[in-house]
Structure 1
Amino acid sequence: MLRRTEPRAKPLQSVERYIRSIGRHYVHAVIVMTMLIGATYLTVVVALDRHSLQQNIGFLTSNQFIRFQQLANQTRALMRASADPNLPDYIIRPMRDDILRAIGEVRAMSRQLAELHDEIGRNFLEKLNPRDDISEQLRLELDARLEDFLARAERIANAGAKERRERYSFWGPIDFAVSSDSVLMRQFGDLIRRAHERSGISIDNAKLIGTALLALIAATVILASIFLFSPLLKKLRNEHRRTMDFEERLTQLAHTDALTGLANRSSFNQALGNLFSDLERTGTGFAMLLVDLDRFKSINDSLGHPAGDAVLDHVARVLQRTLRSTDIAARLGGDEFAVLLPGMADSALLATIADRAVKAIAAEIPFEGRVLQATASIGGAVVPSHANDEASLMRVVDLALYTAKSGRNTAVIFDEAALARRLEQNQLSLALVLAADRDEFVVHYQPKVDLATGMHLGFEALVRWQHPELGLLPPGRFLPLMEGTQLIRGMTRAVIATVGRDLDAWKRAGLVPGTISINLPEVLLVNEEGYNLFVETILANRLEWHDFAVEITEDVFLNRSADQILDTVARFREHGLSVSLDDFGTGFASLVHLRDFPFDELKIDRSFVTGIGSDARSEQIIRAMVDLSRNLGKRCVAEGIETDAQRRFLLEVGCEVGQGYLFGKPEPVDQAGERLPRQSGGVKRLAAVGSGRRAVDGAL
């Protein structure tokens, strides 16, 4: 029995040994394949880590290059600004702070890049690849040049105003240009390119090693391998996609305005150059528009930068809707936009497009539960009808824009008449420099009366310019030319002195002139200069403080130095000088400002008075203003009254004082004196007092 079973036992044992052998081989195969799979996995992870590090290096180097360009532009701007000794410190100081902050950011990026290079040097795959001595040498040279550039920029930023003006304003731009020359720019470009190439090598290494290892795995585990590695392959694809997206974002960043999505100045200049090239090659012309927002600074200062950004975005969307798909709209900076219209040769059609854009920009802009209102001025020109090169085009378009801004909320296409007006404006600007010294300004007086009785209460002093060639010019011809200049200081000084002399003469003649209102500009309110002018005039002419009143526009609420203005106004009122709030309701000030501002009189602007009898909304606004002034315990004055119907309406709603052509036009001192009442026991009439006397207006 045992002998019969032994032969059966051997096959069974052989089968068992075979099965165990198969099992061992299977286990060995599984172990080997597992090790291969693990090795492949680890290899891909290492390659991806290296690729990620290289990607970070490329991204950080690109950001450092962009920040370097911004720093170079900021530093050059500071050196150009330093050449102007009159530029206030509150403009220079933020420029210096921005430069120092940018220097710190560039140096921080250099430190991060050094850390990333050290980390990538420890990567296993990096050790397998041949050492890139050229990239390392290029990086060290770039660091040295960049640090030299940063040191120069830091010295310029930390230099005193006098040193920058006397030293850097002459040789600084030359020396600074050497430190930021094309070599540094090329080294940045080479380093970014090599970083990208090394990133591609990482992907190639990962593919090569992964493919070689996967080829050793048996077909039975291919599906398993696919399932195991599919997440990693997906990650690899995502990394590559991110690389492409990153390069696309860099390109977009270099040519697109971040806020509006329009083309930036660089892209605009490139497109303009291409259009001029097409003009030379094919003779195809084009047109250009410049768009500048009116009073954009007031929106920013009063409502904040988010409101300003909303307005800029609104303008960008309007331009995109208004223009053709082939037109190029760009934001050049701040509130300035430009449009290129290829193939546009018709000035009339260009004017139609510009007018349509002006109207669309003036539409209401919803913002955080309120409605914003913005207007724009647009200037345009056609190539080659108006210009044949870039410099000439920019000059004529800027001229058209200047003409448009004189009227605001309008569009002007360049023509010879606009050029003539610009030349005239330039000549007037030059003559204005000497007008005060030559005693060419004249003060006219417009009476203020009691609306109920017609009794004379006082005057408002208004300026005229007795030009030696053009004759007597109204304020609208020359006051806009004085905006942003120091000429208005001398003009106001002259008007205060002239009004003081005229008051003294009237009083000595036994006349009762009442209170004379003088418009006082912001530049004389932010310090003691305006106050001292009244002190000198009052003492020199033996007058009283209550003989004068100052009119201040509500725009002073938005001035950076509003606190100093408030102090000056408070000093006026302490001495009994009346303060009138002019042009109320036409600016951007809020009722909070009205509540906190010390004033005695509120003036209703003529734009509201004109609507009496024809515009119910104007009448409602006037009623609200009168009620507001009465509730605040202030007087209310209406200007621009021309009809008796307007006078009766104002009297009915509670306004007691008015001025306008109904009561008298602005007149020279001798004519204005003839309408003045006499003091009891007056000694003589005012005859030619002050005839031919020149002065300047407080109505600035």
Structure 2
Amino acid sequence: MSIYHSPLCIRSNPQRFSLQWKFAIILIVLAMMAAGNVVIVHNFLARLSGVAEVVNLAGKLRMLSQKIAFEELASWYQVRSSDSLTSAQAAYESALNVLKYGGDALGLSIQRLPPAMQPLVFALHNDWQKYRNSPALENTQGMAAAMPIERISSKTDLLLASAETLVSAITLEAQRTNASIQKQVISLFISELVIFLLLVWFVRWRVLEPLHELTRRHRELAHGNYSTRMRVRSGDEISELASAFNFASQTIADLMHQNQLDNTALQHSSSMFKGLAENSIAGVYIAQNGRFLFANQRMAEMFGYNRERFTESINLLDLINEEDLEIAQEQISKRLSGEASTAIYEVRGRKSNGALVNLEIYGSAMAINGCPAVIGVMLDVTERHDKQRQQQLEYIERLQYQATHDELTGLANRKLFLERLDLATIRTQRTGAMAAVLLLDLNKFKVINDSLGHHAGDELLRAVGRRLQKLIRGTDTVARLGGDEFVVLLSDLATPEEAAHVAQRIIRALTTVVNIETREVHVGASIGISLYPQDGQGQDLLKSADLAMYQAKREEGNAYKYYSADMDSKNRRHMELLDELHHALNHKEMTLVYQPQLELESGRIVGAEALLRWQHPRLGNISPAEFIPLAEETGLINQIGEWVIHTACAQNATWHRAGLSELTISVNLSARQLRGGDLSAMIGRILENTGLSGQYLDIELTESVLAHDLEEVVEILSGIRKIGVGLSLDDFGTGYSSLGYLMRLPFDNLKLDRSFTSDLDKRPNARTLTQAIITLAHNIGLRVVAEGIETAEQLEFLRSSGCDQGQGYFFSPAVSADAFFDLINEGLPRSALQRPSCPEGAVTNL
């Protein structure tokens, strides 16, 4: 691994024996050898001295034996006194005891003789005892002269012989001891020589040879052999030196290898740099002290110079336009001073022919030969600047367009419309003609937008915008004010009828089927018309057209209305109803009435449809057709709808407790309520609170639910069915009728719209269509409930066609809860069967 990728460290073996310890051991060994020599030599000398003294004492003992013999003869002949003999005997006995036990005698210090000599000493001692125990010689007259000598000699000869024997033995022992000491000295010398040689070998093997090898390896390393290594033996300073040498050798080898790699990479980078620079579409340069050290061909071409001249005689700042020279100098100074490492800036340059060029410069600082330099890239962005200016102009135009046009449809917006309206009124004042504002609002747009989704709603708005543009002249204006409101400006009109003709064409165009995401939808429009100058100008014309449009929407739909002064009062009523509607529930102004639903075959009342009524204390009875759209518009429909379901369920539970246990209550819901939250949870909570079983509640939904995302509708309705609540498709045949969708939706009942029932007496084909609907509904498992039965003939036809249930004014109008209870208990009067039909639209459901 390269040293650039690993930390610099030297791994050393733990020092078991350092050189200091090794030399200390050697010195200790030498000191011990010297001390041992001293001790051994001292012991040897002591032993030799002891042997000499023993030999000396033995010699003296022999001499004492002779002296005793002599003294005894002298004492016999009375030549000398007997004290000398006694003294000699005492000395002899003392010397004998010293030899036997050790001690001092005759001026000599003697150690006890070794056990091997003790028998001789004891023999001598016995001889001495014999000598002492022998009777003394008496000097008698007449004894021959030679007789004492023989007798004395016989007594002392034994001592002399024993002494000689002891002396000989001691002398022989002394010789043996001397020979033993000589052998020990030779052995000691040989041992110390061996130890010395071992120490010399150890020093050479452990110290000198590694040092010699280290010297040799250093020479090899100095001559370029970077792979040379030393053996690391034991853990001492020389081993550390070897480890350090090996690490240094490896480091130098890595450095040399890295240097080779760096040189190769440098050559490769240099080649790549030159290749990239020479093939770059940008000017690449390196400059020092303002002079170019390198510039590629593109750099020279960018300014119209020959490359050789460019690098030899052109200064970097000579290329910058005088007005931008300060910017370039500042940027270069910042990089050279280290204030900024890189710089990106734009200046204008000047070509060799004097033409200006826009330059974008990317620069940074570097060092060459230890001196600061700059390296950079220059781009000719003249074309880009031109494009940017063009784009800016286009962007301004686009902003102006967006400021005056609707983003979704591309039509004029309110701002542009008002500007053109002002121009049209000015032109009308000059020409004396008329101008008209047609404000239109799409019918059923909220249903379509909520049902099919906002994407479909946006597509519908774009389709309406395209149709409107095809219907007007080039001098007229179509604008979208927002939401589903469009406005058309007609200028240079001769009569008010011309505006009506355009309104009629618009209504016809918008009532035609519109294809949205493979679905056919019918939209229609309500149009309000205001005229200039009689109905005001500017914003007032829009306001007047808006009032007329709401009047057309409330009265007929798919119609147009001219503005009239009385519309202001109608608008005030509209705003008043909006305000009062927020308080209607809290003030208990809302009530429910119930219309019986009969089983046609038996004539038995099997259910009731709950219908909402608003009885205002000041405004009187307000039609559902007037306030229900307001509730949907404000979002109050969800709150009102929940109150209706709760009230109807509570009333049906009361009827059940009163004995009407099989009665089913039907409640209408709008498509907006379907999207108002977790509908099944809300209904389940109400059923639990009121104690009504789900099988006695039926939820009626209009065909507008089919315009929803089908998968979502199926999921919501399935959730309602899971809690046991029945489902009916209301007003079938008036909107998005599709039996294919009905097969996928979990409906239980199909309610035939009153328009089919009313046509049974008028059009023969209505009967055929009605019979076909009843048959198809039965085939897919649905019960059929006919609405709006008003004559006996209608009742008889529906009963004979197999219609399951029916309701209508023929049986009973919607009545209060108490009246409905009485109606069941008392039964329907037969006069009701002959009751004349009520006017169309007399009963309106929620």
Q: What is the TM-score of this pair, normalised by structure 1?
A: 0.57
Decide which of 696, 704, 724 is 1:555's aligned counterpart.
704
Alpha-carbon distance in structure 2 between the residues aligned to 1:304 and 1:575: 27
CA deviation string 1:52-109 (max 9, x = no partner): xxxxxxxxxxxxxxxxxxxxxxxxxxxxxxxxxxxxxxxxxxxxxxxxxxxxxxxxxx
Q: Which residue matches 1:455?
A: 604
Q: Residues 382 and 449 of structure 1: is their aligned pair in 2 closer, same or farther, counting only changes over 3 Å? A: same
Decide which of 426, 430, 444 is 1:295's aligned counterpart.
444
How far off is 1:397 after superposition?
1.7
Q: Which residue matches 2:627?
A: 478
Alpha-carbon distance in structure 2 between the residues aligned to 1:554 and 1:273: 44
Alpha-carbon distance in structure 2 between the residues aligned to 1:504 and 1:657: 22
Q: Higher mean Cα deviation, 471-480 or 277-286?
A: 277-286
Report the 3-state secondary structure (helix = DSSP H, G, I; strand = E; otherwise coil) of the residue aligned with 1:517: strand
Decide which of 419, 437, 453 is 2:568's aligned counterpart.
419
Q: Which has the larger radius of gyration?
A: 2
Alpha-carbon distance in structure 1 between the residues aligned to 2:534 and 2:669: 45
Decide which of 337, 352, 356 is 1:130's aligned counterpart.
356
How far off is 1:505 after superposition?
3.8
How far off is 1:568 after superposition?
4.7
Q: Which residue matches 2:788?
A: 640
Q: Which residue matches 2:798?
A: 650
How far off is 1:490 after superposition?
2.8
AA partner of residue 614 (structure 1):
K
How far off is 1:290 after superposition?
1.6
- Tell whether 2:487 aligns with 1:338: yes
How far off is 1:354 after superposition?
1.7
AA partner of residue 448 (structure 1):
Q
Q: Which residue matches 1:374?
A: 523
Q: Which residue matches 1:499?
A: 648
Alpha-carbon distance in structure 2 between the residues aligned to 1:309 and 1:645: 47
How far off is 1:288 after superposition?
0.6
Alpha-carbon distance in structure 1 between the residues aligned to 2:741 and 2:427: 55
CA RMSD between the two structures: 4.6
AA partner of residue 498 (structure 1):
T
Q: Residues 281 and 130 of structure 1: is their aligned pair in 2 closer, same or farther, counting only changes over 3 Å? A: farther
Q: Residues 560 and 438 of structure 1: is their aligned pair in 2 closer, same or farther, counting only changes over 3 Å? A: farther
Q: Which residue matches 2:616?
A: 467
Q: Which residue matches 1:79?
A: none
Alpha-carbon distance in structure 1 between the residues aligned to 2:656 and 2:518: 55
- Tell whether 2:396 aligns with 1:271: no
How far off is 1:375 after superposition?
1.2
Q: Residues 322 and 129 of structure 1: is their aligned pair in 2 closer, same or farther, counting only changes over 3 Å? A: same
Q: Which residue matches 1:594?
A: 742
Q: Residues 614 and 343 of structure 1: is their aligned pair in 2 closer, same or farther, counting only changes over 3 Å? A: same
Decide which of 705, 727, 731 is 1:583's aligned counterpart.
731
Alpha-carbon distance in structure 2 between the residues aligned to 1:375 and 1:491: 28
AA partner of residue 414 (structure 1):
Y
Q: Which residue matches 1:141?
A: none
Which structure exhibits the higher relative contact order, with contacts defined as CA atoms closer than 8 Å and separated by 6 or more residues?
Answer: 1
Alpha-carbon distance in structure 1 between the residues aligned to 2:753 and 2:613: 21
CA deviation string 1:557-596 (max 9, x = no partner): 4446963x54453344334322112123333365453222
Alpha-carbon distance in structure 1 between the residues aligned to 2:677 and 2:481: 39
Report the 3-state secondary structure (helix = DSSP H, G, I; strand = E; otherwise coil) of the residue aligned with 1:581: strand
Alpha-carbon distance in structure 2 between the residues aligned to 1:458 and 1:605: 18
Q: Which residue matches 1:441?
A: 590
Q: Which residue matches 1:673?
A: 821
- Tell whether 2:746 aligns with 1:520: no
Kept in 1: contact 2:447–2:672 (CA 8 A): no
Report the 3-state secondary structure (helix = DSSP H, G, I; strand = E; otherwise coil) of the residue aligned with 1:641: coil
Q: Which residue matches 1:212?
A: none
How far off is 1:376 after superposition?
1.5
How far off is 1:271 after superposition?
1.4
Alpha-carbon distance in structure 1 between the residues aligned to 2:653 and 2:521: 48
AA partner of residue 665 (structure 2):
I
Q: How does 1:137-176 map to 2 (within 5 A)?
A: none
Kept in 2: contact 1:512–1:677 (CA 8 A): no
Alpha-carbon distance in structure 2 between the residues aligned to 1:126 and 1:420: 81
CA deviation string 1:354-392 (max 9, x = no partner): 23431343234578998654311211211221123x222
Q: How does 1:69-84 map to 2 (within 5 A)?
A: none
Q: Residues 642 and 279 of structure 1: is their aligned pair in 2 closer, same or farther, counting only changes over 3 Å? A: same
Alpha-carbon distance in structure 2 between the residues aligned to 1:125 and 1:477: 80
Alpha-carbon distance in structure 1 between the residues aligned to 2:624 and 2:727: 22
Alpha-carbon distance in structure 2 between the residues aligned to 1:548 and 1:351: 49
Q: Which residue matches 2:558?
A: 409
AA partner of residue 354 (structure 1):
A
Alpha-carbon distance in structure 2 between the residues aligned to 1:530 and 1:372: 26
AA partner of residue 378 (structure 1):
I
- Tell whether 2:542 aligns with 1:394: yes
Alpha-carbon distance in structure 2 between the residues aligned to 1:121 and 1:332: 48
Q: Which residue matches 1:214?
A: none
Alpha-carbon distance in structure 2 between the residues aligned to 1:255 and 1:493: 44
Alpha-carbon distance in structure 2 between the residues aligned to 1:126 and 1:504: 100
How far off is 1:330 after superposition?
3.6
Alpha-carbon distance in structure 2 between the residues aligned to 1:341 and 1:192: 46
Alpha-carbon distance in structure 1 between the residues aligned to 2:500 and 2:446: 27
Q: Which residue matches 1:660?
A: 808
How far off is 1:609 after superposition?
2.1
Alpha-carbon distance in structure 1 between the residues aligned to 2:506 and 2:553: 15
Alpha-carbon distance in structure 2 between the residues aligned to 1:260 and 1:494: 40
Equivalences, count: 468
How far off is 1:127 after superposition?
8.3
Q: Residues 422 and 562 of structure 1: is their aligned pair in 2 closer, same or farther, counting only changes over 3 Å? A: farther
Decide which of 718, 727, 748 is 1:570's aligned counterpart.
718
Q: Residues 131 and 277 of structure 1: is their aligned pair in 2 closer, same or farther, counting only changes over 3 Å? A: farther
Q: How does 1:538-549 map to 2 (within 5 A)?
A: 538-549=687-698
How far off is 1:667 after superposition?
0.9
Alpha-carbon distance in structure 1 between the residues aligned to 2:731 and 2:501: 33
Q: How does 1:195-274 map to 2 (within 5 A)?
A: 195=386, 263=412, 267-274=416-423
Q: Which residue matches 1:211?
A: none
**Identical columns (%):** 36
Kept in 1: contact 2:656–2:663 (CA 8 A): no
How far off is 1:655 after superposition?
1.4
How far off is 1:335 after superposition?
4.5
Q: Residues 193 and 342 of structure 1: is their aligned pair in 2 closer, same or farther, counting only changes over 3 Å? A: farther
Q: What is the TM-score of this pair, normalised by structure 2?
A: 0.48
How far off is 1:287 after superposition?
1.2
Kept in 1: contact 2:596–2:814 (CA 8 A): yes
Alpha-carbon distance in structure 2 between the residues aligned to 1:370 and 1:495: 33
Kept in 1: contact 2:624–2:844 (CA 8 A): no
- Give the structure with the larger helix fraction: 1
How far off is 1:334 after superposition?
6.0
How far off is 1:456 after superposition?
1.0
CA deviation string 1:16-73 (max 9, x = no partner): xxxxxxxxxxxxxxxxxxxxxxxxxxxxxx9xxxxxxxxxxxxxxxxxxxxxxxxxxx
Q: Residues 259 and 447 of structure 1: is their aligned pair in 2 closer, same or farther, counting only changes over 3 Å? A: same
Q: Residues 698 and 644 of structure 1: is their aligned pair in 2 closer, same or farther, counting only changes over 3 Å? A: closer
Report the 3-state secondary structure (helix = DSSP H, G, I; strand = E; otherwise coil) of the residue aligned with 2:808: coil
Kept in 1: contact 2:478–2:488 (CA 8 A): yes
How far off is 1:272 after superposition?
1.7
Q: Which residue matches 1:354?
A: 503
Report the 3-state secondary structure (helix = DSSP H, G, I; strand = E; otherwise coil) of the residue aligned with 2:645: helix
CA deviation string 1:369-427 (max 9, x = no partner): 98654311211211221123x22222222222222233321112211222211111111
Kept in 1: contact 2:348–2:357 (CA 8 A): no
Q: Which residue matches 1:682?
A: none
